[in-house]
Structure 1
Amino acid sequence: MTVLDPADAVELDRLLRQAAEADVPGVLRGMTDGADMEQAAIDTIAAHCRVDHVATLVFPAAVDDVHTHLLGCQWRTASEVPSVVVRRRLAHRYGLDDELLDVSIIRAFAHDTAGVEVFCLPPTVATKHVVECERRLHQERHTALMVDTPSRSLLSELRSLLTGQLAMRPDGGGHNPHENQEAGGRSVLYFQPPVGNRLELTCIGDFTPVVAQHLDGA
């Protein structure tokens, strides 16, 4: 029987506490300098989005250990799915072959709170350097806002507010066809805010033209 590394257990417990406290205005205010001029943009984004999940990366010897830990904390878990965006991001960051990185995603849910998203990379696949750096820097921590009724124009508008009035820098993204396959997959845009960890803007569906524009930094 395997168990989670203590560092991973601590990180998961922190993640669950963060999920219980998250709301859109609070998340955005915590990522900006709090200027009054930003409030209109925050209000617009909050009108179209909800906090979908908070996320982190852990290194379990067995993915089932993550399920067991979350279930023990009274969170329901869904079956893991392959990661696309995070796998590519890690490969680029550390100069690795992304086809060799077996990154999976576990989503978990509890009553009346945002969900959590746990990226799992087995330590047998990751190098010691990757594990040490990610546990120190937590570069895959993020908070995700879900656009509930997405369209290409709305997604573009929200993206413009985040990069304009809220001064966030485009920081990657992609389309994962493995998630919500019946609705066209899931599209994600990542942003690096002036303060704190990465923000994700996500929605169900294939919005690859907006993703492409975001990746170009336009």
Structure 2
Amino acid sequence: MIRHARQASITPVAELVGPVRPGGAAARLTEDHCVFDHCAVLLLPRSLTAGLEYLERRGLAPTPPVPSTVVRRRLIERYGLGPEDCDIHITRLQLELPSGQRHPAVEVFLFPRTCPELDDRIERSEIAHGFEDHTAFTVAHPDPPLLARLVAAWRREGGLHWEGGGYNPREGGPRGTTVMYFVRSPANPSGRRRFELHCAGDLTSFISGIAVDAETVGHAYTAWRRAVRDPHPS
């Protein structure tokens, strides 16, 4: 994931979303208005402290961890976990990118094995499927009309399905950050299956107006599981 983040930082952003039609609305809007922000991965350390110490020993400068409510909710929904026993934290890794810039380009979700609900079934599933792996972009100057065009183009041309979004007042500065989630259709294959758009400010009124593609999102997750079980179907 670190290698991918460094490469992504110097790759045209429309190529990261691909496959999209060259010169189409999805490619044009992504190139004109989005910049790469980070990649993400879920790790399963012995404990939260052990996970952070490992990252520090590798010289990856993890930021102070904070609870991750979104990933916690998804894990609870995915495996029927009890909310009191699912303790997920998030940290960012400060990487030196090919441009020479230092940037928190990898987001790490830490699900420690001290959590009572973490068992072999969950471990095998998360390692096999990488459900929380994603690539995230920041929209430089978000406003509802622009976002409406960008979201529509991603859905229409990029084979991406809308998974909803939310507002975090504690992230991204004094205005907070709105995050939008997308899942790729299995009919439109790509090495990258999940994406996020990060926008400064509270845009909950915009995201609440878009119905989640619940059926197609569910089909996408099912297809990922099937592909891992049978990577070479007859």
Place the TM-score, normalised by the shorter chain, in its bin: 0.7 to 0.9
Task: Give the partner amino acid of 2:122.
Answer: V
Deviation, 1:128, is 2.6
Structure 2 counterpart of 1:198, from 194, 202, 212: 194
Closer, same or farther in 2 for the Cα pair 1:93/1:142, shift >3 Å? Answer: same
The equivalent residue for 2:134 is 142
> What is the aligned-residue RMSD (CA, Å)?
2.3
Deviation, 1:99, is 4.5
Task: Give the alignment of 1:57-206 within 5 angstroms.
Answer: 57-112=42-97, 115-125=105-115, 126-180=118-172, 182-183=174-175, 185-193=176-184, 194=188, 195=190, 196-206=192-202
- Sequence identity percentage: 33
Instruction: Measure, in 1, the Cα distance between the counterparts of 2:147 and 2:14.
Output: 18
Instruction: Measure, in 2, the Cα distance between the counterparts of 1:70 and 1:204.
Output: 28
Closer, same or farther in 2 for the Cα pair 1:110/1:187, shift >3 Å? Answer: same
1:17 aligns with 2:22: no
The equivalent residue for 2:209 is 213
Q: Contact 2:167–2:204 (CA<8 Å) still a contact in 1? A: yes
The equivalent residue for 2:226 is none
Unaligned runs of 5+ in 1: 1-14
Query: SS where residue 182 of structure 2 aligns?
Result: strand
Larger Rg: 2
Task: Give the partner amino acid of 2:5.
Answer: A
The equivalent residue for 2:28 is 43
Query: SS where residue 213 of structure 1 aligns?
Result: coil
Instruction: Measure, in 2, the Cα distance between the counterparts of 1:99 and 1:188.
Output: 25
Instruction: Measure, in 1, the Cα distance between the counterparts of 2:74 and 2:178.
Output: 15
**Normalized per residue, which structure has more helix?**
1
Query: SS where residue 179 of structure 1 aligns?
Result: coil
Unaligned runs of 5+ in 2: 215-234
Q: Contact 1:105–1:119 (CA<8 Å) still a contact in 2? A: yes
Deviation, 1:169, is 0.9
Instruction: Measure, in 2, the Cα distance between the counterparts of 1:212 and 1:98.
Output: 25
